[in-house]
Amino acid sequence: MEKKFEADVKAFETMNKEYTTLVSNRQTLESQLKENELVQKEFELLDDEATVYKLIGPVLVKQEQPEAKANVKKRLEFIRGEIDRAEKSIKDLSAKMDKTKMELMAMQSEIQKRKNPSA
């Protein structure tokens, strides 16, 4: 039983690391979302004749405004989808971690009872 307990503790630690990574990735996506929403708001302020440039490497390249707006819209849709996916993964992993934590606590209690039956 102690070996299973140790294996489950290691599995829990792995889940915890994965959880941390998922949360970090979601935070990155959130900042990308805010940045792209800001770009979209700036596009709304532009008149139809305004020139738009796109940074490609070290060079600014002229881009058609409708194309740039469409790219930002697609990027926003993609990022929102990724955030939803990340949140679902976080929720699922969190539930799995809670279940594992309860199992570990029960195992630890059982191990202590076996080591000290009078308590």
In a domain, 76, yes or no: yes
pLDDT band at 119 (very low <50, low <70, confident <90, very high): low
Q: What is the pTM of this model?
A: 0.82
In a domain, 75, yes or no: yes
Taking the C-alpha atoms of residue 104 and residue 87, their distance in angstroms, rounded to an integer, is 25
What does the block give as tokens for 90? 């976080």
In a domain, 116, yes or no: no
In a domain, 21, yes or no: yes
Helix (H) or strand (E) holding 55: strand 52-56
Domain span holding position 15: 1-101
In a domain, 45, yes or no: yes
Going by C-alpha positions, the residue among 13, 18, 5 that lies closest to residue 103 is: 5
Q: What is the pLDDT of residues 79-109, one digit of tens each?
A: 999 999 999 999 999 999 999 999 999 999 8
Taking the C-alpha atoms of residue 32 and residue 103, their distance in angstroms, rounded to an integer, is 38
- How many independent structural domains does the chain possess? 1
In a domain, 41, yes or no: yes
Query: The domain spanning residue 77 has which CATH number?
Result: 1.10.287.370
In a domain, 107, yes or no: no
Burial class from Cβ neighbours inside 10 Å (0-12, 13-18, 19+) for residue 95 reads: exposed
In a domain, 108, yes or no: no
Going by C-alpha positions, the residue among 63, 85, 71 that lies closest to residue 36 is: 71
- For the cut 80, the answer to whether the pLDDT of residue 33 exceeds it is yes
